[in-house]
Amino acid sequence: MSKDIEIRIPFNKPSLVGKEMAYIEQAIVRGHLSGDGHFSKQCHQFLEQELGVSKALLTTSCTHALEMSALLLEMEPGDEVILPSFTFVSSVNAFVLRGTRPVFVDIRPDTLNLDETRLEERITNKTRAIVVVHYAGVGCEMDAILEIAARYDIPVIEDNAHSLFAKYKGSYLGTFGTFATQSFHETKNFTCGEGGALLINDPQYITRAEYIREKGTNRSRFFRGQVDKYTWIDVGSSYLPSELLAAFLLAQFEEREFIQCRRRQIWENYHTHLEKISSDHKIQLPHIPSHCEQSYHMYYMLLPDIKVRQELIDYLKGKGILAIFHYLPLHTSKMGRKFGGKTGDFPVTESVSDQLLRLPFYNDMTKSEQDQVIQSIFEFFET
């Protein structure tokens, strides 16, 4: 029945925005391809200076930066981590790997971020961390979250994969938590294919973070001349990306203005057009609170129900356009059920997961491509 239709407008497409090729060549010429060479250091500096974090360390992925966070907080079997059910599996897996029990919270229906009014009731004497996810690059209600976390003395980790350079009340996301984790996966605003970073806001964790990232050794201190040999001193793994990736990433960072400006245009163009039909067809569009500056990571629509969403996905596919849904609730997944999750626990998460559709969004999306997407959505609703 299903005939293969050629996708002309993909959901995502990575692009070269500047000196990626030249920098990769330079990395090769420099003769240092493993981690923490010239380009990695530049990336660290860039993140530290632009965001104002105490320390930034490139990692092989956001998943690995989250795993480092769990190791740094010495999470143990029996400990609990609180996080939204509406997020990517890595936000939870990094902790479950340490034997930590996930405790989910529902999301707000407007920003789709962790519902801060439901946070405190999930805290127990076993809670060791709170992970927040700034969905679609829009900040969680950090004042309320940090106030609760401080009262119970629980560290907050920001899964900042969507939200590099977004702000909450004038400050960059990624600067609020004890740690924040970035992703430079191909689908994110800034990419090197696969990559990430751990941002550290509490300096007491810096030294151990370096050990953990370097296989549990003090190799970083050795290279800085702070110790005369390096050895095994902690648990750890291999979380450094190659210089080839750092070279690619630095070129993307240098085009920060261009990338963010491009994505803003695409986002605003979707929004202006879709606002014209949203209320007539019971479509909810993204809500950006006035105290948040978003990162223009994605454009999504919340459709009336799963049936309309599937029909629209199929309709767009018929036109060669790939639009896709997003997170399935973690609490009702196979693993989530093992931790006691069941349907009905988090109604907002469950309905948002059924209704949400993400539209094609990439830096070099042309005006004509975007017009075709918007036109097709109009046709779907108005014929």
Ligand X SMILES: *Cc1c(COP(=O)(O)O)cnc(C)c1O
* Residues within the interface to ligand X (CB under 6 A): 61-63, 87-88, 90-91, 133, 159, 161-162, 183, 185, 196
Beta-strand relationship, 292-293 and 80-84: unpaired
DSSP 129: E
How buried is residue 78: exposed, middle or buried, by Cβ count under 10 Å (0-12/13-18/19+)? exposed
Choice between 133 and 240, CB closer to ligand X: 133
Choice between 85 and 91, CB closer to ligand X: 91
Least distance to ligand X from the beta carbon of 97, Å? 13
Least distance to ligand X from the beta carbon of 133, Å? 5
Choice between 35 and 217, CB closer to ligand X: 35
Choice between 162 and 309, CB closer to ligand X: 162
Q: Going by C-beta distance under 8 Å and a sequence separation of 6 or more, which residues neighbour residue 68?
A: 59, 179, 198, 209, 212, 213, 239
Choice between 12 and 61, CB closer to ligand X: 61
Q: Going by C-beta distance under 8 Å and a sequence separation of 6 or more, which residues neighbour residue 28?
A: 244
| DSSP letters for 289-307 | -TTEE------EEE-SSHH
**Pick from 55, 29, 47, 26: which is nearest to 252 by CA?**
47
Least distance to ligand X from the beta carbon of 61, Å? 3
DSSP 2: P
Least distance to ligand X from the beta carbon of 66, Å? 7
Tokens at 204, concatenated? 């007491």
Total Cβ atoms within 10 A of residue 289: 16
Choice between 199 and 374, CB closer to ligand X: 199
Choice between 17 and 180, CB closer to ligand X: 180
Least distance to ligand X from the beta carbon of 62, Å? 3
Beta bridge partners of 94: none
Give CA–CA dist 217/230, Å, rounded. Answer: 6
Residue with tokens 């909450």: 168
Q: In what side-by-side order are the strands of the sheet with 167-168?
A: 171-172, 167-168, 292-293
Look at residue 338 and give its three-state secondary structure.
helix
**Pick from 59, 41, 10: which is nearest to 160 by CA?**
59
Choice between 43 and 133, CB closer to ligand X: 133
Choice between 159 and 369, CB closer to ligand X: 159
Least distance to ligand X from the beta carbon of 244, Å? 17
Give CA–CA dist 186/174, Å, rounded. Answer: 20
Give CA–CA dist 320/5, Å, rounded. Answer: 6
Contact status, residue 203 vs residue 55, Cβ threshold 8 Å: yes
Choice between 140 and 200, CB closer to ligand X: 140
Give CA–CA dist 37/134, Å, rounded. Answer: 31
Least distance to ligand X from the beta carbon of 309, Å? 20
Least distance to ligand X from the beta carbon of 30, Å? 26
Least distance to ligand X from the beta carbon of 183, Å? 3
Least distance to ligand X from the beta carbon of 107, Å? 13
| DSSP letters for 193-235 | BS-EEEEESSGGGHHHHHHHHBTTB-HHHHHTTSSSS--B-S-
Beta bridge partners of 214: 238
